[in-house]
Chain A
Amino acid sequence: MNHLTRNRFLLAAAISVSLALGGCAATPESPEGATEVRNKLNALKNDPDLANRTRVELRAAEQAVELAEKPLPAEQSDLGEHRVYMADRKVEIARARATALHAEAQRERLSQERDEARLAARTSEVERAREDARSARDEAEAARTSETESAATAAAERQRMAEETQRMAEEMQQEMDDLKAEVTDRGLVLTLGDVLFATGSADLQSGANSNLDKLVTFLNEHPERKVLVEGHTDNVGGEELNQRLSRQRAEAVRNYLTEKGIAAERLSAEGIGMDRPVADNSTRTGRQQNRRVEIIIGNTQSAPAAGGSR
């Protein structure tokens, strides 16, 4: 009798346990959409331009896809949906990141092409000026020999003008070299390093002035050019502080230029903060390169565009 009740009890317990477990795991199946996400990931991995660019994001995507592929019982289809959603987005993130890195890798080549085009343009301009000067000189000679007085003066005038153009082209180049300015798509960019300012201060240090005075000379000689002064910082000390400091520094440079007689309406100042580093903020030299003031001199009469590349 005792034996019988025990057997019955064991049977009941076994049934209840198996029922309870059954609640957790019914016939498992891979969630809907998991295959598509896997295909998407494989397509990204097989893209020769994009594969091998983003190790971190790709690994995160791989893990998410593996999780999404895990079989789940039918009652948990919403969890499966969630996992597929996450995996899909992570694959997309990896693709976007890879696209950005691919574009950056291409940029070096593009910038080289642009420099070559610029160099070719400048060379041919100088060539042309020289050519003009030579032909004007020849004409002047010819006119002199034929003793046509007026033609000679006209030719001499042309020669003088052609030589002037050539001289101006060369002078311009020289001035740009003096300023150590860089030609970019935003205009001439002159970068002043962080030696201009003491740490955390927006007051100009006196050593900075020689470089700035060269800029003043340049601006006085080219009164049609407008200038944008941009302050940049490294990432030490928080966004808000850096934003403020960079603006104050840009304004300090602008004030200096106004004091030296550059019309205020030609100048604008902007604080960029830590948003546009040119070097790695994790090293000391990188941070020093990022603490800078950029002076963008417009190519034409229009003001230089804020924002721009980088």
Chain B
Amino acid sequence: MNQLSMDKVSQRVRLYSSLFLMLFLLGACASPPPVPPNDALLAARDAIVTAEQSGARQFAGSELDEARQQLSKAEEAVSNENMELAERHAYQARVSAELAAAKTEASKAVAINREMKEGAEALTEEMRRKGEQQ
């Protein structure tokens, strides 16, 4: 009798512990609790504003549009409570906005060089003509 109840108890313990183990393992796969990725969203919005202020609308329009689209996808995912997807889109929005800003800086730098080069060439050309007139 005593032997039997001991067996029963140890069976229970095994059952519970195996259930617990399975839950734990499944938990490792499950998505995080539905809290909006506020930091990522904020960083994305900041990056977009920064890009706009640097003049990305003019120099890197498609990258800026891409960033905005990713941000609205992120916001949509938040309202669907798919926070993992929202976070990914927020990251993508941010990196696109950063790319827009970087491309803007590059375009500006190249444009300045072109102007300087043209200026020097124009001056040389003008001098050459004046010299010929004499």
Interface residues of A (CB under 8 A from B): 2, 5, 9, 12-13, 16-17, 20-21, 23-24, 57, 78-79, 82, 85-86, 89-90, 92-93, 96-97, 99-100, 103-104, 106-107, 110-111, 113-114, 116-118, 120-121, 124, 128, 185, 309-310
Contact = CB atoms under 8 A, between A and B. Distances in A.
A187 B108 CA distance: 20
Contact of A82 (B7, B92, B123): B92
B28 A24 contact: yes
A17 B95 contact: no
Question: Chain B contact residues: over half helix, strand or loop, or mixed?
Answer: helix
Contacts of B131: 124
Contacts of B123: 114, 117-118, 121
Given A9-B14, A24-B28, A86-B92, A96 B99 contact: yes
Contact of B127 (A96, A107, A120, A185): A120
Contact of A103 (B22, B25, B99, B112): B112
Interface string B84-128: 000010011001101100110110111011011101110110110
Given A100-B109, A114-B119, A82 B88 contact: yes
Nearest to A118: B123
15 contacts: A16-B18, A17-B21, A82-B91, A86-B92, A92-B102, A96-B102, A97-B106, A99-B106, A99-B109, A100-B106, A100-B110, A103-B110, A111-B116, A113-B120, A185-B119
Contact of B116 (A23, A97, A128, A185): A185
B9 interface: no
Contacts of A57: 102
B35 interface: no
Interface in B3-37: 7, 11, 14, 18, 21-22, 25-26, 28-29
Contact of A93 (B18, B21, B95, B117): B95
B119 A16 contact: no
Nearest to A13: B18
Contacts of B21: 13, 17
B105 A86 contact: no
Contacts of B7: 2
Contacts of B26: 20, 23
Contacts of B28: 24
Given A20-B22, A118-B123, A121-B123, A103 B130 contact: no
Question: Chain A contact residues: over half helix, strand or loop, or mixed?
Answer: helix
Nearest to B123: A117
Interface size class for chain B?
35 or more
Given A82-B91, A117-B120, A309-B112, A20 B25 contact: yes
B73 to A, nearest CB: 12
Contacts of B108: 100
A124 B130 CA distance: 9
B80 interface: no
A116 B105 CA distance: 28
B2 interface: no
A103 B92 contact: no
A309 B117 CA distance: 13
Given A96-B105, A121-B127, A89 B116 contact: no
A128 B134 contact: yes
Contacts of A107: 109, 112-113, 116
Given A86-B91, A97-B106, A92 B117 contact: no
A106 B120 contact: no
Given A99-B106, A121-B123, A185-B115, A89 B22 contact: no
A103 B18 CA distance: 64
A114 B116 contact: yes
A99 B113 contact: no
A309 B92 contact: no
B22 A110 contact: no
Given A9-B14, A17-B22, A110-B113, A120 B92 contact: no
Given A20-B22, A93-B95, A106 B124 contact: no
B115 A103 contact: no
A116 B116 CA distance: 12
